[in-house]
Amino acid sequence: MPKVGMKPLRKEQLINATLESIAQYGLQKTTIITISKIAGLSSGIISHYFDGKQGLVDATVKHLLEQLKLALLEKIEQKDLSALERLHMIVEANFTPFQRSIPATKTWISFWAQSMHEPGLARLQHINSKRLYSNLLFSFRQLLNDELASSAAKQMAAMIDGFWLRSALSATPENEFKQAEQLCKKFINDLTQQNGDVTCP
């Protein structure tokens, strides 16, 4: 009889092993065998918990998305944040040490490429993009009129994704990630200052 609490622990082990396997071998060469070896668990347990490799890959992507969500919630849980501070927190949540780690970056890049071919992954990508845009729009609407807020949210979302991708593919990712975060914040500051005369009451 399995011990109480072992299922969540085993799932976490397998998700972490999937991240590591994708970092080492890429998504296409990651198999149930490579994952189980890294996790130190039998390959049968993957089918038991996730119905095979694709189910585990989906769960791993959902884990990345959940970490983004939790990072933001952790940063904005304090009360009375200004809209500008909240925008900075959204940027920081996308550039946390976890999201900059090699397993996470390689998995994200593999996920984006595969989402063009897998409807399930494409749905997760849509959810991710929509969530980022909605969070940005909510804060920009407190600083700008609706038209400018929508434009700013689209630009900022594209900058976050673009800078993140360029940094992940860079020969010096750590430095690039730090600079990317600073440039995203500078864009927010410059935009809100330039359009201070059209802020909403």
Question: What does the pLDDT look like over 121-178, one tens digit per residue?
Answer: 899 999 999 999 999 999 999 999 999 999 999 999 999 999 999 999 999 999 999 9
User: What tokens were used for 121?
Assistant: 């992954």
d(CA 124, CA 134): 15
d(CA 51, CA 45): 9
Q: What is the pLDDT of residue 181?
A: 97
Residue range 83-106: mean pLDDT, rounded = 95
Taking each continuous run of H as one helix and of E as one strand, the counts in the chain are 10, 0
Mapping DSSP to helix (H, G, I), strand (E, B) and coil, where does residue 10 land?
helix
Q: What is the pLDDT of residue 3?
A: 54
Q: Closest Cα to residue 149, out of 129, 164, 131, 135? A: 135
Q: Which residue has the tokens 């009360």?
A: 79
Query: In terms of pLDDT, which residue wins out, 199 or 79?
Result: 79
Please report which confidence band the pLDDT of residue 42 belongs to, taking 50, 70 and 90 as the band edges.
confident
User: What tokens were used for 79?
Assistant: 């009360």
Domain 61-198 is of which CATH architecture? Orthogonal Bundle (1.10)
Q: What is the pLDDT of residue 196?
A: 60
Boundaries of every domain in the chain: 61-198
User: What tokens were used for 47?
Assistant: 């089918």
